[in-house]
Amino acid sequence: MKEKPIFQSSKSLDQQFAELSQDIPLTTYYNDPQVKPLPLQWGASEPTARGPVVASRNGNGVYKHNAIGSYQGCYNIYHALAVASHQLDPTYKADYTNAHPAHNFKQLDQWSSKEKIVSIDPFGHLAPWCFAKTAESNDVEIKPTISITKAHLQLTEMEQYVKQGELTVDGKVVVNEAGDIAVSKLAVDPVWYLPGVAKRFGISEIELRRALFNDTCGMYPELITRPDIKVFLPPIGGLTVYIFGNPDDIANPDKKLALRVHDSCGGSDVFGSDICTCRPYLMFGIKEAAKQAQQGGVGAVIYFQKEGRALGEVTKYLVYNARKRGGDTAAEYFKRTECIAGVRDMRFQQLMPDILHWLGITKIDRMLSMSNMKYDAIVESGIEIIERVPIPEDMIPADGQVEIDAKIQAGYFTTGHQITKEELKNTKGRDYSDLK
């Protein structure tokens, strides 16, 4: 491919920026006649009454975007790079032929509740189709924030479970001797209704807007200039739901549900690092979810993109260094994180139950998690948990015992021994000298 010439201009950089500020509005203000948001009534019972979430600047109609931010979550920057490098026409409109959801989830009452769902768009999977006339008549670009498909999971652990007799091949859930598992899955980008999110955290909407504006170094000026625009698409990762069995059964309280809510850990989940229990617990969750589906119920694993307790992988590795150079005892486990990040955890599970309510879950028969924060958030949102299931002790890596003991002493659920503060000093991980 022939390289494209680098853009050059005879004008100075100051002149180019001066013209840029004239061509592109750097911010818009309340009652700005140039930006009239397309009507959006969060909590309306029907899609047409609610209106679409519009987070694109494309279009020349009277009505404009009604959401702060942009589509595609944290990937919107790559979209911008594609446009800037002339590989993508900024006015390109997607062709969604045959891209519609692989499963039709029935609309539920909680989809129109301002209390139950505040961090995802309940109609996000239908946007290009149910709002097609709205998009055309108002000349706005409307994109989905949820997509639904089907797939097979191929995991080495599942093949081992089949060989060991812990999973049986039924041709429907576990489809073959290789342990391939059939799933329905949903990808969800976050869509925040700011008044609802603020209420969840017990703060005012203006406090939330100001913090978001300041911590992003003013990246989203409309957070403080457009109080009439109540929806924000944050530049963060979303979540994926993996459903084992009939997706319609997940909302049926008469069907037993086994559920794991899992926060991402690339080092363990993907590459098998043994410093934590993340991949073992994830594999255990998938196995138990599949077994529940085979027993006439339904299983689900919900995977959130919250790397390193939402502190990020760079901070995570810095904490690893501090732990391994400082003796790595369970007693110091949380302290090392707090020293670097200022807090021990920023996953903030207050918004996590939204996807459960969207799916129609009212009861969890087997919660495959030891987290007290996840348990509290789910129960306080009105969902009943019948049984809590900790990770089997024989699945805990030797170097991951530090993590488990520290969490149990801090309040994580266990059916085994309750760790005391004194005992934490005796749980020690490897030093760097042991890492060959």
Query: Backbone dihedral region of 218: left (phi > 0), alpha (psi from -120 to 50 degrees) or beta?
Result: left
Q: Phi, psi (5° rounding) for residue 417?
A: -70, 135
Instruction: Work out the average pLDDT over 338-351.
Output: 95
The owner of tokens 């503060």 is: 421
pLDDT, position 152: 98
In order of 156, 268, 344, 391, 394, the CA distances from 277 in angstroms are 17, 8, 17, 8, 11
Over the stretch 411-428, which tens digit does the pLDDT of each residue have? Answer: 999 988 888 888 888 899
Over the stretch 238-248, which tens digit does the pLDDT of each residue have? Answer: 999 999 999 99
Over the stretch 361-385, which tens digit does the pLDDT of each residue have? Answer: 999 999 999 999 999 999 999 999 9
Over the stretch 101-152, which tens digit does the pLDDT of each residue have? Answer: 999 999 999 999 999 999 999 999 999 999 999 999 999 999 999 999 999 9
Instruction: Work out the average pLDDT over 50-74.
Output: 94
Helix (H, G, I), strand (E, B) or coil at 59: coil
Calpha distance 290→299 (Å, rounded): 6
Residue 22 has pLDDT above 50, yes or no: yes
Nearest to 359 by CA among 236, 265, 261: 261
Residues acting as catalytic residues:
345, 347
Average of per-residue pLDDT values in the chain? 93
From the centroid of its chain, how far is CA 54?
20
Calpha distance 154→135 (Å, rounded): 39
* Alpha helices (H) along 275-420: 278-294, 307-310, 313-325, 333-341, 353-359, 372-380, 401-410
Helix (H, G, I), strand (E, B) or coil at 323: helix
pLDDT, position 1: 38
Question: β-pairing, 146-153 with 181-188?
Answer: antiparallel
Calpha distance 125→131 (Å, rounded): 11
**Band (392; pLDDT cuts 50, 70, 90):** very high
**Band (7; pLDDT cuts 50, 70, 90):** low
Over the stretch 42-57, which tens digit does the pLDDT of each residue have? Answer: 999 899 999 999 999 8
Over the stretch 329-338, which tens digit does the pLDDT of each residue have? Answer: 999 999 999 9
Contact call for residues 355 and 302 (beta carbons, < 8 A): yes
Residue 435 has pLDDT above 90, yes or no: no
Query: Backbone dihedral region of 345: left (phi > 0), alpha (psi from -120 to 50 degrees) or beta?
Result: beta
* Strand residue runs (E) in 59-125: 63-64, 67-69
- Structure tokens that stand for 196 in this block: 């609802």
Instruction: State whether the Cα torsion 350-77-184-309 is positive or negative.
Output: negative
Percent of the chain whose pLDDT exceeds 90: 85
- Structure tokens that stand for 188 in this block: 């969800």
Over the stretch 27-40, which tens digit does the pLDDT of each residue have? Answer: 899 988 888 999 99
Over the stretch 189-202, which tens digit does the pLDDT of each residue have? Answer: 999 999 999 999 99
- Residue 18 burial (CB count, 10 A): 11
**Band (431; pLDDT cuts 50, 70, 90):** confident
Nearest to 290 by CA among 434, 369, 175: 175
pLDDT, position 313: 95
Full-model pTM: 0.94
Calpha distance 249→293 (Å, rounded): 10
pLDDT, position 2: 46
Residue 16 has pLDDT above 80, yes or no: no
pLDDT, position 358: 98
